[in-house]
Each structure stands twice: as C-alpha cells, then as structure tokens.
Amino acid sequence: MTSAAAALGTLPPAKPAPLKQDAAVIGLVGLAHGTSHFSHMLLAPLFPVFIRDFGLGFADVGLLMTVFFVISGIGQAASGFLVDRVGARPVLFAAISCFLAASLVASQATGYWGLMAVAVLAGIGNAPFHPCDFTILNQRVSNERLGHAFSVHGVTGSLGWALAPVFLVGITSLSDWRTAYYSAALLYLGVLALLWWQRDKLLTQVVVRAPAESGAPAGKDLDFLKLPVVWWCFAFFLLSTMTLAVVQSFVPSILQAVYGTSMEAATLTVSAYMLCSAVGMFVGGFVAVYGQRRQISSDTVLAWGMGLGALLMLLCATGWFGEVGTMVVLAITGFALGVAGPSRDLLIKRATPKGATGRVYGTVYSGLDVGFALSPLVFGVLMDHGWYAATLAGGAVVLALSAYAALGVGKRVAA
C-alpha cells in the first residue's frame, strides 16, 4: 500500500458479502435516510395552517427552518465524532427517537414556541444521519456494491422529501393537523421498531484508541481537519446545495412572475425536478459501478453531471425555452444532478482517512446545511429586486463552481 493510499484509508478489497446481506443493509439505511428527509418537511407543508391558527407571519415560520438547519449543521459536524467513538447504531436510534419526540410535541403545540421546540428537536435528530448512514454503508456493504448503495441512499432521501407533504397535508385534510402529527409519530415508531429488530445488520466497528492517544484525544481527533481535501469536499456540498435551495425556494415564484404559470404547475415543476433527481440517482448507481470497473474517476463523472446541470440551468435563465420548455429542462437538470449523486459519495469515501468516517462525513455534509441557510439570503436579494433571470443564472454559476470543487477533490485524492 502506498503512503497516499494509507493516508486516505484505502483497504485491500475484501471478499464480497452475499447479495441478500448487502441488500438488507442498504434497504435499512435507505429507510432511515428517508425518515431524515421526511423530517426536513415536518413543519413546512403546514405553514399556511400555522399562520392561520397561530397568527404568524412568513418571517416567523421561515425562522423555524433557519433554526432547524443551523442546529442540524452544527450538530452534523459534531455528531461525526460521536459516531466514531460509540458506533453508528446507537446514534441512529437516538436520532429517530428525536423525530418521534418532535412529532409528539408538534401534536400538542399551542403556539409559536411549541413549533420552535419541534424545529429544535428535529434539527438535533437530523444532525447525525449522514455520519451514521455512510459509516454503516462503508463498513457493511461490499465495495463493488457501494455505488448502488449510495444510489439507493439518495433515492430514498428524495422520496422522503416527496412523501412528507402528501402525508401531512393529506391527513390534515381528512382530519386535522394534530392527527397528522400523531400519525407521523406512529410512522417513526414503526421505523424505529423495524431497525431495532434488524439491529445486527447496523452494527459498526469502533476504532479502538491506543493508551498513548487517550491522554490527548482532541488533537488526534481533529487531525483530519488539516487535510485540504476535506475542505474541498465541504465547499462542494455548500455550493451544490445552494443551487438546490434556489430550485426548491424560488423556481415556483420565478415561473409565476416570468410566465404567469399557475401555482399548482409551478410547484409541480419542483416535484418533477425531485422525481427526476431520484430517477437520476438510480441510474447513477449503475454509472458509478461502471466507472469503477472502467477506472473512470468519480470526480470526472461528478464534474460532468454538475457541469451539464449548470449549462441547462443557464439556458433556462435566457428564457429561450418558454414556459413549458423551461419546466421540462429544469426537470432534466434534476436528472443530470441525480446521476452524479452516487459518484459524489464514492469520491467522499476515497477522501476519508481510515477511522474517521463519521468525523469526515459529518464535517463535509454540514456543508449541505450551510448551503441551505446561505442560499435564501444571497438569492433572496436578487428575487426582491425582481432579477429572476439573474437568480437562475446565479444558481447555474454556483453549480459550475461546485463542479470545479469536485475536480479539486479528485486531484487531491489522487495526489
């Protein structure tokens, strides 16, 4: 093993596990990841109800999401250390328990501060998911199936986003919003029970410290922060997420303002984007595995996907496609970025030092939360001025920068 490989924690290929065993691990982790994305939307779909019932403003409910992502981002970086110390499984169970508690608190909320407590609990619960998920997948799934594992992980996350509004709004329309949150609590309880029943498949190894390390663990634990590749990974996630936030937050308003698109059709465009992204992630699993076999670097696949997405979004900003064409091309953009998803996760795996999976994934994936928090502040200014084309073009530029960051990661992994 070369010194570079040793520094990156590269291990000799192990004997593949049976397909049934790998599939079970992938399915369980995917289910857990779906609950995490479901929880991103635990409050937002019912904002109109809270505004009506509690007399809140848009700034009030917007602050709930800011609190959620700030807590999640800080907690994600910190929870990686915990995962490396105690293992992924107990942290994962605690995280889902926080979602269960958040749903029960939501069902009893009588005002704004009750909703704020929900945002805090859900943010704490969301924080450990990426360190937990990727620690389990990297340790328990055969290397040649990791591309498919990361694909399923991404798909289930998108499905969690898609399910939450239908679940919460649907039950609210049939009964009331408190019943919807009771139902969400039952959903989390069912997921937690299933994961507990299959807990042997989620067990991970913990790196045992030498006695010399126990005297000053903090410095040793933070050594990975000295690696430039970690910060290139962080930059990639921050930049690419800013573009996703543009799509989720502003595309419906842009379509309505520029083309007079109905609210329903504009919202459907975002749903189509996420659905195409999920399909792209499924396809991307095969692309990632093919790339591994053909020795095509993950950063190359990732940069091509991000670059194509940036080009398509930039073309949408020109207005050349018209209303329907823009809606279709934006959906195709989601597919292009989805295809790149599994290669992204393989690249991060290559950049992870041995024994620091939780810490590295926690740190670099906290870029997601930072991106979600920054994007509305940056692009909201453009939207307030009515610069709709500039907002889309800005999202394209940021996405192109994320492609450059991906190549930067690949260059430093290969060095």
Per-residue model confidence as pLDDT tens digits over 95-126? 999 999 999 999 999 999 999 999 999 999 99
Per-residue confidence (pLDDT) for residue 11, from 0 to 100: 39
Q: Is residue 235 located within the same domain as residue 120?
A: no
Cα 318 to chain centroid distance, Å, stands at 29
Of the two residues 57 and 141, the one the predictor is more confident about is 141
Distance CA(188)–CA(167), nearest Å, equals 13
Residue 214, in any domain of the structure? no
The last residue of one of the domains, among 203, 238, 271, is 203
Name the residue among 352, 339, 353, 330 with its Cα closest to residue 303: 339
Looking at residue 356, what is its pLDDT?
A: 65
Global model pTM greater than 0.85: no
Q: Are residues 265 and 364 in the same domain?
A: yes
Residue 5: CB partners within 8 Å, gap ≥ 6? none
326, 415: one domain: yes
- Tell whether 328 is covered by a domain: yes
Does 167 lie in the same domain as 41? yes
Residue 276 lies in a domain: yes
Q: CATH number, domain at 268? A: 1.20.1250.20
Cα–Cα distance measured from residue 252 to residue 131, given in angstroms and rounded to the nearest whole number: 32
Residues 110 and 55 in one domain: yes
Asked if residue 49 is part of any domain, the answer here is yes
* 259 and 386 housed in the same domain: yes
Q: Are residues 195 and 264 in the same domain?
A: no
End residue of a domain, out of 203, 233, 265: 203
Report for 180-189, 258-267, 372-381: range of highest mean pLDDT: 180-189
Q: Are 336 and 402 found together in one domain? A: yes
Residue 210 lies in a domain: no
User: Does any domain span residue 337?
Assistant: yes
Domain end residue (candidates: 203, 237, 266): 203
Is 249 in the same domain as 198?
Answer: no
Mean pLDDT for the stretch of residues 389-402: 94
Please check whether residues 308 and 343 belong to one and the same domain. Answer: yes
- CA-based nearest residue to 56, from 112, 120, 108, 116: 112
C-beta atoms surrounding 101 within 10 Å? 18
Domain range enclosing 303: 224-415
Residue 64, pLDDT above cutoff 50: yes
**Inside any domain, residue 77:** yes
Q: How far apart are the first and last CA of the chain?
A: 14
Q: Are residues 306 and 250 in the same domain?
A: yes
Highest mean pLDDT out of 115-119, 169-173, 221-225, 297-301: 115-119
> Is the distance from CB of 188 to CB of 42 less than 8 angstroms?
no
Is pLDDT at 219 greater than 90 in this prediction? no
Residues 174 and 252 in one domain: no
Number of domains in the chain: 2
Higher pLDDT, 9 or 381: 381
For residue 230, pLDDT over 50 is answered with: yes
Q: How far apart are CA 367 and CA 77, in angstroms?
A: 9
Does a structural domain hold residue 215? no
